[in-house]
Structure 1
């Protein structure tokens, strides 16, 4: 399945800048960067679940939840909070 992953990580702190690099590296491991914080990833179900786990470990959801959307996904993870 093809998914699009987007994220916005605060870089105001040193930890935020580190987190941004780790998130990008995680996404680059399974996909291709199409913009600064946008990746296209062609993954199977197992790769998708691993990507989701890895992103959860890297990102502070309250601060900057990532979004992944794709055809064939049973659900969209990390939807923005209203």
Structure 2
């Protein structure tokens, strides 16, 4: 199970264009981009996290309200080495 998890992580990293590295922590969100899911809180947390810790990858997948899609894209633009949205 642990090996399968590592392979899934590597596949996701490759699929979204992040460096493939089993040692780098990877945080993923997959869901609707609506107020109740807190995407605005998530983007604020991403910025805070990546300003302190550069050795982490974040993948955000989902659709919903355009304002939240733009927020996630802006996080990717600000942190192109760490975030995919």
Q: TM-score, normalised by structure 2?
A: 0.34
Greater fraction of residues in helix:
2
Using the size of structure 1 for normalisation, the TM-score is: 0.35
- Structure possessing the higher relative contact order (Cα contacts under 8 Å, 6 or more residues apart): 1
